[in-house]
Chains A and B, each alone.
Chain A
């Protein structure tokens, strides 16, 4: 039982105006003395609950206009800046029409109040295995642009997650943006979330599916799973049986079963591993059908 403190601990607060200033504040700090935040919807509860090392300085990224963007173009696809809120991404017409898996996943996060402050970048940086945006970003094979004083590097979102609450970010590094390259017509998709309540809960199982069907045959299919492994994961064996095939009921069932076998859930207070495994199969089947119907 966690002892919950109602007040925040004390810290200094800085709001840099530019990326350089933020990065130099971070320096090479590997002791957690300096912590960046944007929406605060993960950091502030963690600080209140004393669930993280208390930083000496909280760096508010919201003053950095270079991080505040949500843009798309036919050449580079979608670019989600570090300060783009979950609500903005969920409701952007471009995302709803061309990348429905991401729109649905973003809408599944917490509540409107949290979505108005929280960011998609923050969602992946917090890196809980149940992060709703993750299965969608995995299906879309998004790339994460990481910035430090020494320069910029791009990693695949699949490599970004290293474990529960662990990302590939090194000390002194922040995420600048997430990039989703895309097909001209967009990609149909669906995100399904199993949770006790219809809103506000973490996912017990999260399933994202994207598919491209031409002449009745699946030319591309991706399945992302959340909350059933130490990190969000792709169900590659399930994808493998579907690719290049006509997606009939029997094949979809087989793929769903494979996805369930690929998943590695644990028992926790939200659900047992056994139940999660069973629900992976159910949700993958439903998500594929829904994706192909959309």
Chain B
């Protein structure tokens, strides 16, 4: 039971890592790479707080083994901002109070990003379905939906 060598690109940067097979991608991100923006809520793929974008698709990183990420391109919440400039979705969450405790927020924003990437003009129903895999215990979702709606409109303006 040794470590396997993997090559992975995370937020545009290449990493060569050695991970044991029983380490999840979530654990690799948080513990090995100190990218603690991605959260563990349930560890079972039921809450979405571990959501990252891998190979262009949202996945629960708690259900992906680190070794399965070999050769993949991954985007985490840390990869959205450009230096000090927040991504439009992040800006919208700030402006429209889409967060309270903030624990669900990274996963929520990753799902929002994936939604807006494939559907730049989502209806409220589309938004609700787009974040259906992400739980929030604080907000009741209203402000989250408003934030994503505002982000969609801002991004159409060419932000």
Interface on A for B, CB 8 Å cutoff?
4, 6-13, 15, 39-41, 44-45, 48-49, 58, 60, 62, 87, 110-114, 116-117, 198-200
Contacts and interface: CB of A to CB of B under 8 A. Distances in A.
B68 A198 contact: no
Interface of B: 1, 4, 20-24, 27, 40, 43-46, 48, 51, 57-60, 62-65, 67-68, 111, 114, 129-130, 132-134
A40 B63 contact: yes
A48 B22 contact: no
A117 B63 contact: yes
A49 B65 CA distance: 16
Given A7-B22, A9-B22, A113-B51, A200 B1 contact: no
B59 A116 contact: yes
Contacts of B64: 40, 117
B70 to A, nearest CB: 9
12 contacts: A11-B21, A12-B21, A13-B21, A13-B65, A40-B64, A41-B45, A111-B45, A113-B45, A113-B59, A113-B60, A113-B111, A117-B59
A13 B2 CA distance: 10
Nearest to A9: B22
Q: What 10 A-B pairs come out closest when comparing CB atoms? A: A111-B133, A13-B21, A199-B132, A116-B57, A8-B22, A45-B44, A113-B133, A113-B60, A44-B63, A113-B58
A7, A10, A111, A198: most-surrounded residue (chain B CB, <10 A): A111
A113 to B, nearest CB: 5
A92 to B, nearest CB: 15
